[in-house]
């Protein structure tokens, strides 16, 4: 029986491969749950009166860490389910705020793809641009992942 939803093997992600994920709207529940679990109990995220008087960002801002986490969920559900083996590092640049009610998606381009030292595995780096509903890039990050390859004889 075929397993649906499986991610891509590293051999299926040559440099230049580009894809876009589905979108996800950031909700008040997302923000409150994330800051509570992470212990980011800042007034900026939880106190509407403080935010109204002191925030440089209109609306209820989402922590960049939340935006990154949701973006990773969008990407991994589309490409790494069952094939992603390890997250090895990244650089990240936050370009603009994301607030409650914004809808984000990820546009990714494979910038590096090569065999790893252990047979059957590869290293894949992407440039992931997180884009809001207005077409603005709000974050760019460049994860390097260890990815599985196809089983011998199935290439």
pLDDT along the chain (155 residues), means of 10: 86 96 97 96 93 93 98 93 96 98 98 95 98 98 96 56
State residue 53's pLDDT score. Answer: 95
pTM comes to: 0.93
Q: Are 104 and 138 in contact (CB under 8 A)?
A: yes
Q: How far is CA 104 from the centre of its chain?
A: 10
Sign of the Cα pseudo-torsion (84, 87, 88, 91, in order): positive
Please state which CATH class domain 10-26+61-148 belongs to.
alpha beta
**pLDDT at position 92:** 98
At residue 152, the pLDDT reads 55
| Residues paired with 141 in a beta bridge | 92, 128
């Amino acid at each position: 029986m075929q397993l649906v939803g499986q991610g891509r093997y590293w051999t299926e992600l040559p440099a230049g491969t580009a894809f876009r994920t589905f979108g996800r709207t950031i909700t008040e529940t997302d923000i409150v749950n994330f800051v509570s679990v992470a212990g980011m109990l800042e007034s900026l995220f939880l106190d509407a009166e403080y935010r109204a008087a002191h925030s440089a960002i209109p609306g209820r801002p989402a922590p960049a860490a939340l935006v990154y986490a949701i973006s990773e969920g969008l990407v991994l559900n589309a490409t790494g389910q069952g094939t992603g083996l390890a997250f090895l590092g990244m650089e990240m640049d936050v370009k603009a705020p994301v607030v409650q009610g914004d809808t984000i998606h990820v546009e990714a381009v494979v910038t590096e793809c090569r065999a790893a030292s252990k047979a059957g595995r590869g290293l894949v780096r992407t440039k992931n641009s997180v884009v809001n509903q207005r077409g603005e890039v709000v974050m760019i990050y460049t994860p390097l992942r260890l990815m599985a390859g196809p089983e011998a004889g199935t290439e």
